[in-house]
Amino acid sequence: MQRLERTFTIVNSLGMHARPAAMVVQTANRFRSDVQFEKDGLQINAKSIMGVLTLAAGKGSSVVVACEGEDAADAMAALAKVFESGFGER
């Protein structure tokens, strides 16, 4: 089983509010791998909208993304696109 981990910085001005949170949850749910986010010691299931919102990830925050499973590389690549695009708000 493959495990990948990568850190992303939130670049959009409003941070990871409801719409970006929904984007990452929808993206994570397209894959079978487990996807976890961690910020400031709080680790959550990235397939849960409530979990993602509890991170309260504002602009400039660092979020560690961990994908583990058979399609971990594909999940990480898809999530990287979402984070790096600034959730389409840049």
The residues spanned by each domain of the chain are 2-88
pLDDT in tens, 53-63: 999 999 999 99
pLDDT, residue 56, reads 93
pLDDT, residue 10, reads 96
Spatial contact of 28 and 47, defined as CB atoms under 8 Å apart: yes
Strand partners, 43: 38
Domain 2-88 has CATH 3.30.1340.10: yes
Residue 17 falls in the annotated catalytic set: yes
**Is the confidence at residue 89, as pLDDT, over 90?**
no
Which residue out of 4, 11, 17, 61 is catalytically annotated? 17
Report yes or no on whether pTM surpasses 0.85.
Answer: yes
Spatial contact of 30 and 78, defined as CB atoms under 8 Å apart: yes
pLDDT, residue 29, reads 98
Cα distance between residue 18 and residue 56, in whole Å: 10
Mean pLDDT for 19-25 is 96
